[in-house]
Structure 1
Amino acid sequence: MTASSAELPPEPQAVVGPLTRAAVFLVVRVNPGGESVARDLLADLPGLQRSVGFRSLDGGLTCVAGLSSSAWDRLYGSPRPAELHDLPVFAGDKHTSVTTKADLLFHLRAERMDLCFELESLIMARLEGVVTVVDEVQGFRYFDARDVLGFVDGTENPTGRGAVDAVLVDDDGAFNGGSYVIVQKYLHDMAAWNKLTTEQQELVIGRRKLSDVELSDDEKPGDSHIALNVIEDEDGNELEIVRDNMPFGRPAYGEFGTYFIGYAKTPSIIEKMLENMFVGSPPGNTDRILDFSTPLTGALFYVPTAEFLEDPVVASDEPAEPTPEPPAPAPGTSLGIGSLRRSPRS
């Protein structure tokens, strides 16, 4: 390794990117005894993504993998990311959030669903028999990036360098370059929602439905979705996250939903949003959107760097034993050239 390459920062997974037309949100639990298979799959995931993505270079295929607190302990042990923990349940007098027992998140995105479908198929073939599926949602782009409630979603996402600064950890040593992600699956009561006038819906959200312009402070109610989701630090600076929410649904079954997914450099920002929504700010002043939207799942994950996935280096309490030199290959045997997994980096 050259001096210049040693100074390069770790390569993050594709947590920051343009909104796509299709997505798959796959959440699984690793069955006891399946840890090594799951760890090997995570190491091979960048290679699998390249293999599928190369078949459509303009398809924009990416896959972000995250691990929950318990999964990190089982797959990688110590040390661990400083802020990785189970997502709390936020319970107010009227609304209560949901926390789901989960181990791994796979967030697949592309301009075409077939690319997501193919990569998910390869992932599940590798994990067959060693994981239990918690949830699988196929999301789609709805007109001009609107949710099924009819409002544009993700308007306030930071872009460029601002997005990178908002989502990548920069104060946790070996875990710098990673990110935290929280997911929630919501179903909407469209019958009740559609009984509201457009003006009433705008007061629930805090934004104009057609133009996507935010209501003024004088017009915007304190229990509107936007009012309760603006988080500031002690100096009054807004703390940002990157949302990549997607609509989903099955109209024949009366299912209309939004899959919330938010990336941030610290989970405390999104957790504060959830506290404001479900408990209220002040307590009791809860998010009006919860009168029409019900959470079904919720989980928090840490997203390691792409470099870590392909070559995890984790310290342990015991000194590592010297690795013996591998024997020279016998004449005529394969050197493993062209295999999917990369050799460990030195």
Structure 2
Amino acid sequence: MCPMPDDIPEPQAVCHSITRSAIFLVATLKPGVESENTVRAVCADIAALVRAVGTRAPTADLSCVCGFGFDAWNTLFGAPRPACLHAFREFGDGTRRAIGTPGDILLHIRADHMDLCFELAAQLMARLGEAVSVVDEVHGFRYFDLRDMVGFVDGTENPQGREALDFALIGDQDREFAGGSYVIVQKYLHDMVAWESLPVEAQERIIGRKKLSDVELPEGVKPSSSHSSLTTIEKDGQEVKILRHNMAFGRPGAGEFGTYFIGYASSPEPIEQMLENMFVGRPPGNYDRLLDYSRAVTGGLFFVPSAPLLEALADRSPKPSADEAESAG
């Protein structure tokens, strides 16, 4: 973690508090100059659209975070590039696998009222029009007292206040992109019949916390394969945290029960380490037993530019890097 400088650009709404509702939209960019120009133009419109829709319910905390995948950044904006942006890294194999799925643009829309999320999503998609194809859309909701679909409190270890900025936002380690963030998203589906057949004590050992109180199990009781054990990351003797804004979603009539994972960090590294621990194991084979009841069906890594950079990207055209220019010459 790099301590956050005081003069970083204004970030997007990465560190906003968790709301009651959210819409997650992942889209791919259609080929062609017209599509590219449309997406770049929307970069300058997002903040104004949030303000226009948000004035209908000023206390509902409407926000939108926009991020771009590796291929989309190269196509739309070119060099310079965020230092740690790359394609989503897959982990695991067989049925226990963190998969990467198509995605060039992420829109994380949230508010305390779903109608505001819906209206903003509709306005944004109208602006994007035929320039993109939506490949995943999830309408999430806050489940009781911030619980996930398997019944445990989610985001207990989220950093707060200044610490959230330090862990979630880029500082001096990539100064040109300071105020930005990296975000990894995954959609998990749960086998609730199998999960709910487990005794509560067995569920608690899998998660590493008490279900009712959310208190962490003692070290001598909590298995090393528990979810909380494997998602605790340390570097140089200090815990490295990420900022989670997960949401429950589902369609009971279709038997669909899920959790949308969304984690922000100043580098993809800690989230990728968590995924490796979960899907491969620490050590290998000592994997997250929650994955016996949950499977990831999507996966993507995106870079979230600061608010002023997002707006400035509307006027940016892709330019080859020095190496690429030299190679072309």
TM-score normalised according to structure 2 size: 0.92
1:194 aligns with 2:196: yes
Displacement of 1:37 in angstroms is 0.3
Shift of residue 69 of structure 1? 0.4
Q: Which residue of 2 aligns with 1:152?
A: 153
- How far the C-alpha of 1:105 sits from its partner, in A, is 0.2
Two-structure CA RMSD over aligned residues (Å):
1.6
Distance 2:19 2:95 in 1: 35
Which has the larger Rg? 1
In the alignment, residue 289 of structure 1 is paired with which amino acid? L
Match of residue 243 from structure 2: 242
Amino acid in structure 2 at the alignment position of 1:143: F
CA spacing shift, 1:283–1:318, aligned 2, 3 Å: closer
Where does residue 258 of structure 2 map in the other structure? 257
Structure 2: distance between partners of 1:227 and 1:10: 35
Contact 1:68-1:102 at 8 Å conserved across structures: yes
User: Is 1:280 matched with 2:281?
Assistant: yes
Tell me by how many angstroms 1:83 deviates: 0.2
Tell me, in whole angstroms, the C-alpha distance in 1 between the residues paired with 2:279 and 2:91. Answer: 6
Aligned to 1:54: 55
For 1:205, give the aligned amino acid.
Answer: I
1:204 aligns with one of 178, 203, 206: 206
Residue ranges of structure 2 left out of the alignment (5+ in a row)? 1-5, 323-329
- Post-superposition offset of 1:9: 3.0
Amino acid at match of 1:223: S
Distance in 2 separating the partners of 1:110 and 1:46:
15
Q: Which has the higher helix share?
A: 2
The reply to whether residue 180 of structure 1 matches residue 179 of structure 2 is: no
Residue 83 of structure 2 aligns to a residue in which SS? coil
Number of corresponding residues? 312
- Among 211, 220, 223, the residue aligned to 2:222: 220
- Please identify which structure carries the higher strand content: 2
TM-score under structure 1 normalisation? 0.88
> Which residue matches 1:304?
305
Q: Check 1:318–1:195 CA distance in 2 against 1; reply closer, same or farther (3 A cut).
A: closer
1:128 to partner: Cα distance: 1.6
1:21 aligned onto 2:20: yes
Alignment match, 1:103: 104
Deviation (angstroms), 1:318: 9.4
Helix, strand or coil: the match of 1:249? strand
Q: Is the 2:208–2:226 Cα contact (8 Å) retained in structure 1?
A: yes
Q: Following the alignment from structure 1 to structure 2, what is the Cα–Cα distance between the partners of residues 266 and 9?
A: 16
**8 A contact 1:88–1:99 mirrored in 2:** yes
Moved over 2 A (4+): 312-319
Q: Following the alignment from structure 2 to structure 1, what is the Cα–Cα distance between the partners of residues 179 and 53? A: 25
Counterpart position of 1:322: none
Mapping of residues 8-47 of structure 1, within 5 Å: 8-33=7-32, 34-47=35-48
**Aligned-residue identity in percent:** 55
